[in-house]
Amino acid sequence: MIPAGQSGKLVARVHTRPTQDGALSKSISVATDSPDARSLRLSMAFTVKAVIKVLPRPQLTLRGVVGEVESARLLVRRVDGKPLEIKDIKIKEPGIDLVVVPVDLKEKAPRGMKPQEGDLWLVATIVGNMNSGNRSVKAWISTNHPKMPELEIPVSLRIRPIIEVRPSAVQLFIQETGGGPRGTLFRVSHNKSRPFDITGIKVADEDLVGASVMDPKKGVVHSIMVELPDALAVKDVGTQRKTEIVIQTSDPEMPELTIPVTVIGRQPVTRSVRSGGRIKPTLEMRPAPMPLPTGTVNPS
């Protein structure tokens, strides 16, 4: 409660991450009972100083293709000028190797980074044959700083398959009226930029869809056409019907790919009349009869 004509103090607490560093800004909304100011929006700006800096930002991102060795690094520094020591590193991902390397000032640093004496490189490397997909894990680093004995670093993995299908699943729609497109294309590309052949295409349910390669020549990218048979109707599909296509390739690292296919039947849309609603009468306008000429007889 702030008496009329007087002032008060509003205290706002902002929770920051231990690795946050630099200028930040926040805003808060304050509701009051004053008729002239029911709601107030207050802005604040402040600077956060981390005791251990992680550059360029406190996150490791590893991008690559299955079977390739990829690495990423971060620069870690104590802001008090004392040498940083890493006592232990833990990560729950067997395919990633995390090591600490002292900074060599004679070595050319990555763009945007300026190493200093006493800094350390935190280097992450994919050492195993990881499965494709996106996932996130965390690494915990034990340090010699009394205010931050443990440092948490998020690690993001973006691993692509050797041969990739886009889109990863195929959907086709069949209309009750028989109209609309009855086919679609998907692409099969080699993420290591190696030319390969499509050696075979197998459809599990050939009565539902057919598939063929557009250009049988060897290449880095192939286009596959998936089509509905001419005789297929909505009654044969129902609400939906599924199958899969198996693509065989000449690449020994990925000789087969499986693509799920869904065919969805679309029924005609009918609009229901609301119960209890009034039906407006329809007024039919007819032209008035023309007068007959004098001396003629009306045939009716």
| Last residue in a domain, options 128, 160, 192 | 160
Q: Are residues 121 and 143 in the same domain?
A: yes
Choose from 41-45, 131-135, 215-219, 243-247 the range with maximum mean pLDDT. 243-247
> Is 174 found in the same domain as 135?
no
Whether residue 269 has pLDDT greater than 80: no
pLDDT surpassing 50 at residue 280: yes
Tell me whether residue 219 is in a domain.
Answer: yes
Is residue 99 within 8 A of residue 162, CB to CB? The reply is no
Residue 14: inside a domain, yes or no? Answer: no
pLDDT: which is higher, 15 or 183:
183
The residue among 138, 111, 103 whose CA lies nearest residue 124 is: 138
Do 225 and 241 belong to one domain? yes
Predicted confidence (pLDDT) per residue in 13-61, tens digit: 887 777 777 788 888 888 888 777 788 888 888 888 888 999 898 999 9
Q: For the residues of 29-46, what is the DSSP string, one character each? A: EEEEEETTEEEEEEEEEE
Answer yes or no: do 113 and 153 share one domain.
yes
227 occurs within a structural domain: yes
236 vs 35, more confident? 236
241 contacts: CB under 8 Å, gap ≥ 6: 205, 208, 262, 263, 265
Same domain, yes or no: 78 and 97? yes
Residues 129 and 206 in one domain: no
Confidence grade of residue 287 (pLDDT, cut at 50, 70, 90): low
Q: 73 lies in a domain?
A: yes
- One domain for residues 178 and 150: no
Give the model's pLDDT for residue 195: 96
Instruction: Judge if 169 and 151 occupy the same domain.
Output: no
Residue 160: per-residue pLDDT: 94
Question: What mean pLDDT, rounded, does the chain reach?
Answer: 85
Tokens representing 267 are 């029924």
Amino acid of residue 122:
L
Split at pLDDT 50, 70, 90, the class of 296 is: very low
Provide the CATH number for the domain around residue 107. 2.60.40.10
Residue type, 174: I
Helix count and strand count (H, E) for the chain: 1, 18
68-104 pLDDT, tens digit per residue, is 888 999 999 998 888 899 999 999 888 899 999 999 8
Q: Which domain holds residue 116?
A: 54-160
pLDDT digits (tens, 9 = 90+) for 125-145: 988 778 889 999 999 999 999
